[in-house]
């Protein structure tokens, strides 16, 4: 009897221990599961998908990479030109719409140029006469904008195929685009190894980080040429958007849009965007500079230079409530109001892009810097790394 009781005691103890261990493993598993599902939830929300966008005349396939964050913000990038084809962000009611101009088909990107959404290189904006010298040696570039060189030439970085590496982390997604521009390509000296990394995180920020190295002294000025229309409706102009540009001066241009070298105070001119102002407010006032640009097409001299990432500009569309803030470490920003759009290019989803249906905020060094010694230098030497970053942060109010 005693031994029976003892056995029973022993069996109950074993049972208790088994139940306890099972409970423990269950609860441990539950924590592990919830951690896992959090990660899964996060990575499920943050995801990259790919699809074929079209084929080049050579037969080469072009891929579209679609990055989506947990708020449903989406950026689509193709390996041709590193072009941002779509950028979908929520409005004040949560409606997610596309806020960048672009085309539905690859063929339309192959016909030059409005540079919709593209990476611009080696040199963003104009170089006078398509000529510059380094250490007394003169280099000749394509004159693809009247007598001037524009946006890297006939086949700039906007028209080449980039190698793409997608990156998925817990809190962000990235696309690393690489391209090596050969020595004397488009007339520029040095083999230039370029890496442009687009990053999308859950704060609705799209970051563009640029890096380049060379094996021979050269000039570099990379930028991103997205045309924004925060209304999400490409049949509307951007004239009602409000813009702030954090700059006390801008660079007046000659009749071929080359900076004259003067740093002009914006005070008392239509170029004063130090406090947020409706784009259309003074765009048609009588002003030689506005006439030359056919509107705004100038580089602003940003305040707080050489001080890391600074707020360069803010754009706000009161109707949709969308806000875009631009942060950069560059000294300049080209504010271009889509003055050359003329209703001939096909819009995504139908219709055409009329004049001023998009604006660009191209962070960069000043135009024609290789020929204007008082401008910050754009020279890159072997052993140095060109490094710059710009972020576009979206919110609503």
Catalytic residue (choose from 149, 225, 298, 365): 225
Torsion sign across C-alpha atoms 333, 203, 90, 317 = negative
Compare residues 65 and 115 and give the one whose CB is closer to ligand GLA.
115
For ligand GLA, which is the closer residue by CB, 65 or 116? 116
State which residue, 83 or 150, has the beta carbon closest to ligand GLA: 150
Q: Would residue 74 show up in a list of annotated catalytic residues for this protein? A: no
- Name the active-site residue from 185, 186, 330, 362: 362
> Least separation, in Å, of the C-beta of 122 and ligand GLA?
15
DSSP letters spanning 99-112: -B---SSHHHHHS-
362 noted as active-site residue: yes
Q: What are the residues binding ligand GLA (CB under 6 A)?
A: 114-115, 125, 150, 257, 297, 334, 336, 340, 360, 362
Nearer to ligand GLA, 144 or 214 (CB): 144
Q: Is the peptide bond before 122 cis (omega within 30 degrees of 0)?
A: yes
- Kindly state the smallest distance separating residue 151's Cβ from ligand GLA, in Å: 6
Q: Residue 136 region, left (φ>0) first, then alpha (ψ -120 to 50), else beta?
A: left
> β-strand 223-225 against 137-140: which pairing, if any?
unpaired
From first CA to last CA, the distance across the chain in angstroms is 81
Q: Which residue in 54, 152, 145 sits closest to 102, CA to CA? A: 54
Residue nearest to ligand GLA as judged by C-beta position: 336
Q: How many residues does the chain have?
A: 397
* Selection from 88, 99, 48, 386 nearest residue 238 by Cα: 99
- For the CB of residue 75, give the shortest distance to ligand GLA in the complex, in Å: 21
Question: Which residues, listed in sequence order, are joined to residue 165 by a DSSP beta bridge?
Answer: 176
- Provide, rounded to whole angstroms, the least separation between the CB of residue 360 and ligand GLA: 5
Residues serving a catalytic function are: 225, 362
């Amino acid at each position: 009897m005693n031994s029976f009781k003892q056995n029973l005691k022993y069996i109950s103890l074993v049972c208790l221990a088994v139940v306890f261990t099972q409970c423990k493993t269950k609860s441990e598993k539950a924590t592990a599961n919830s951690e896992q599902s959090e990660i899964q939830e996060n990575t499920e929300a943050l995801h990259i998908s790919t699809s074929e966008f079209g084929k080049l005349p050579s037969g080469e396939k072009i891929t579209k990479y679609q990055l989506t964050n947990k708020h449903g913000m989406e950026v689509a990038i193709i390996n041709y030109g590193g072009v941002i084809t779509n950028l979908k962000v929520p409005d004040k009611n949560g409606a997610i719409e596309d806020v960048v101009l672009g085309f539905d088909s690859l063929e339309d990107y192959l016909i030059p140029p409005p540079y919709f959404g593209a990476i611009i290189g080696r040199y963003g904006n104009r170089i006078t006469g398509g000529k510059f010298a380094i250490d007394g040696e003169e280099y000749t570039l394509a004159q693809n904008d009247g007598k001037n060189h524009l946006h890297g030439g006939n086949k700039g970085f906007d028209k080449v195929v980039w190698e793409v590496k997608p990156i998925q982390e817990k809190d962000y997604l990235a696309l690393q685009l690489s391209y090596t521009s050969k020595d004397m390509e488009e007339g520029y000296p040095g083999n230039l190894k370029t890496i442009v990394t687009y990053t999308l995180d859950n704060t609705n920020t799209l970051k563009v980080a640029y890096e380049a190295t060379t094996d021979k002294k050269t000039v570099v000025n990379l930028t991103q040429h997205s045309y924004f229309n925060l209304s999400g409706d490409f049949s509307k102009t951007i004239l009602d958007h409000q813009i702030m540009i954090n700059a006390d001066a801008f660079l007046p241009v000659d009749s071929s849009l080359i900076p004259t070298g003067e740093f002009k105070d914006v005070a008392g001119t239509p170029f004063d965007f130090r406090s947020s102002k409706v784009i259309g407010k003074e765009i048609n006032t009588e002003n030689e500079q506005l006439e030359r640009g056919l509107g705004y097409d100038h580089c602003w001299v940003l305040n707080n230079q050489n001080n890391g990432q600074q707020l360069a500009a803010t754009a706000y569309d009161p109707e949709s409530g969308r806000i875009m803030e631009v942060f950069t470490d560059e000294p300049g920003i080209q504010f271009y109001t889509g003055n050359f759009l003329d209703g001939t290019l096909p819009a995504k989803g139908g219709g055409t892009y009329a004049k001023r249906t998009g604006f660009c905020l191209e962070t960069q060094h000043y135009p024609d810097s290789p020929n204007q010694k008082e401008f910050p230098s754009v020279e890159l030497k072997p052993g140095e790394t060109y490094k710059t970053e710009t972020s576009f942060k979206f919110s609503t109010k």
